[in-house]
Amino acid sequence: MPAPPKQGVPRRSSPDAYPETTAYGAGRGVGRGIALEAARAGARIVVNDIGVSPSGDWDGVDPSRTVIDEIEALGGEAVACTESVASWPTAQRIVECAVDSFGRIDAVVNNAGILRDILFHKMDPEDFDRVIDVNLRGPFYVSRAAAPHFRNQQSGAFIHMTSTAALIGNFGQSNYMAAKLGLVGLSTSISIDMQRFGVNSNCIAPFAWTRMVQTIPANSPEQVQRLDGLKKLAPERIAPFAVALMTDAGRAAVTGQVFGVRNNEIYLFSKTRPVATMHTGDGWTPQAVLDRVIPAFSPQFIAPMTSRDVFVWDPV
């Protein structure tokens, strides 16, 4: 992969090395960092952000203007789009904004997300549906709107933000976990269906101190200590890896994978594959399953855990 141009000189290092036009949920946090890094690499950016709180409620702020000013200060080009990802017509308008503004679209970063945290046995259907609409249907709508353009030009990159809450587990996030794990399935399907068109699709689980992470309750000294550790996670550290996946070299080398980025650490997550098998020529009965299969498989069982049970070391 060619080296990105130095900061402040947003010029493509070679033809077609970096994407020209990218659409994001990019007003703050991780999305902002990726938008700025892509702009430094020469991409023209659609800054898509509707200015809502982590719960999805309007907060009266337009963060896209600030990001556009930052991109223009680097010498780059950017436009704002305040359409929601959570409906098919508005998602189409996000992609149309890129094509109308810059003539094409080369990469989509599905970064928009909201939280409605509540224990499963207390969760209302509305809380479930709202999170699914933004965090799973939204990536489908935006990606599907971009897909014909990618197919026609025989190139394109999809980057979807999943979460270790889904890959591992978390309390009170059945809606968020369902959406973010569903996003892994969506990305895998895209990678299979569109690889023939030179299109890649990958997921990143970002570790970053963002407004969404700040909603985590701190009701004990242990929780306060954990949040203090999370404050070390800079959202801008996600950006170089995300931009690498957009390049021609990234598209050629990587698709259908799930990564994690945690400050200076990068992870490759395993994908679901069989870890044990048993066979009987006579067929199984319920009692035989209890007597033979469960005891044989149990050493391979992974008990329900939360992300913080796995990532116990300090970020570096």
Phi, psi of 101, deg, nearest 5 = -80, -40
Report the C-alpha gap between 59 and 38 in whole angstroms. 27
Contact 275, 300 (CB under 8 A): yes
What's the half-sphere exposure (Cβ side, CA atoms, 13 Å) at 104?
15
Phi, psi of 57, deg, nearest 5 = -90, 145
Report the C-alpha gap between 255 and 157 in whole angstroms. 9
Reduced to 3 states, what is the DSSP secondary structure of residue 297?
Answer: helix
From the candidates 18, 24, 176, 267, give the one annotated as an active-site residue.
Answer: 176
Reduced to 3 states, what is the DSSP secondary structure of residue 188?
Answer: helix
Contact 172, 124 (CB under 8 A): no
Active site residue 176: yes
DSSP line for 53-97 = -TTS-B-S--THHHHHHHHHHTT--EEEE---TTSHHHHHHHHHH
Residues designated catalytic = 176
